[in-house]
Amino acid sequence: MPRNVIGGYGVLGNLALNVEKTIRGDNASYELFAHYAGQQRVQIRAGESLVLTVDGQPLRFQVRDEDVDRDMFCPESGPCTYDERAYYPATPDQIRAIANAETVTVELIGAARTLAAEFNELNFERYRSFVSEHVR
């Protein structure tokens, strides 16, 4: 799935929520890949730190500390840029629910702040395409 920025690009940062499929032998597993890049530190927490509200119903996802990466770059002239990534295990049913929903709100919870954004039509199209091609 291409860089799936939720709700479009922002001024201070962007939150993307992609889905990835990993195949090991005959088994497939899926992960939601949350990626934030911007000028505000989030400090994504380990544990339950991704909540998707799918047609009014919360889907809660947990991440292990070793599956969270946090980087920052602070040039001498200009603001710092933060780059944070986390991989959340997901089931095929959860991915289908996201793709088939009318509304999806994403909350990424960190120690410094919580980011919230809503899916736009392009986000839904990308999820539907992924499901049709990769989810059985």
pLDDT tens-digit readout, 6-51: 987 776 789 999 999 999 998 999 999 999 999 999 999 999 999 9
CATH number of 13-134: 2.60.40
Q: What are the sequence ranges of the domains in the chain? A: 13-134
Query: Does the reported pTM lie above 0.85?
Result: yes
Beta pairing partners, 84:
36, 70
Backbone angles phi, psi at 55, to 5 degrees: 50, 45
